Copies of this chain bind each other. A is one copy, B any other.
Amino acid sequence: MIKIALDAMGGDNAPHDIVHGGVEAARHSKGRFEVVLVGDKERIQPEIDRHFRTHDLPISIEHASQSITMEEQPSIALKKKDSSISVAIRLQREKKVHGVISAGNTGAVMAAALFGLGRIEGIRRPAIGSLLPTEAGRTLLLDVGANSDCRPEDLLQFALMGSIYYSHLFGDMSPKIGLLSVGHESVKGNDTTLKANALLQKSSLNFIGNVEGGDILKGKTNVVICDGFVGNIILKFAESLHSLFKVSMGRLVRKYLFSQIGAILMRPTFDGIRKLFDYQEYGGAALLGIKGVCVIAHGRSSTRAIQNSILAAYKMAVEDINSHIRTKLTEYLQDD
């Protein structure tokens, strides 16, 4: 059975919400996977015991004596060898689990995964891929923060990894790839994207050309490629919309009496909108390009976000996405 290690100590609401998410995922596992909670046994067991009927669930604990705070530097992951994230990664390196999820310190998770598992041969820079809601479904944006400065070749590799990840998540074997830029014409962009555009044109990927900022939410392409600087800014900008919408709506609703009644009647619609813009629904972001499966969940992950992250990690592990990345990469290296 596939085993997924869940860093129970990482994240703003750890271990409470994390363990809760793990328990719920285990409850819906249907024999597909086991959840391995990693962290302080003394704190995790009582959290499990809060829930009903957990004794026959596919869930277990691996003790780790240390934990890493959100404020610590990424390099701490290499020093605190018995931290929950380091232990989770070690379990994967030793093939005792098939994937790792953490809602903890992103830099520390990346450092632990990169040093503990290493990169897939031929991949220069791993990238973080995150799903965004669009008018047409969901779009995978990558990189959203692993690399602030990228070369054109890196963007090509992101496209390759993103294409494979998307096709396995959604069963679309030839996802449309767009390169994020400042104009649709291939002559528009910055130095890096101009060169990346040329590389993507030559590739066998389903590259439809440059996309602009306004195309992302229209869902013009299934995958949108950018460097981690732009991707991180877009992702955080998108996550902040919910708050602007709520604040403005609140102000306006208070102003108009009929709107107050209307707002009550519209509750299900608003819940739907909130859900649409809520990153919690989309689970974590995948760290692509490492020798293993690692899902980085949001620091403020809810129970539901953790559950979705476990499902994403399970899917990556059971479909062995990395072997597909390796195969595709080999084709490219032979073409050169």
Chain A interface residues (CB < 8 Å from chain B): 133-135, 145, 148-149, 180-182, 189-191, 193, 212-218, 226-230, 232-241, 243-245, 247-249, 252-253, 255-256, 258-259, 261-266, 268-269, 272-273, 276
Contact = CB atoms under 8 A, between A and B. Distances in A.
A5 B57 CA distance: 74
B237 A191 contact: no
B182 A233 contact: yes
Contacts of A264: 262
A249 B276 CA distance: 10
A133 B252 CA distance: 15
B182 A244 contact: no
B256 A268 contact: yes
Q: Max chain B CB contacts within 10 Å: which of A133, A228, A269? A: A269
B217 A243 contact: yes
A213 B191 contact: no
A231 to B, nearest CB: 9
Query: Lowest 3 CB-CB distances: which A-B pairs, in order?
Result: A262-B265, A213-B236, A262-B266
Given A244-B135, A263-B262, A273-B248, A233 B230 contact: yes
B244 A269 contact: no
B232 A148 contact: no
A260 to B, nearest CB: 9
B235 A218 contact: no
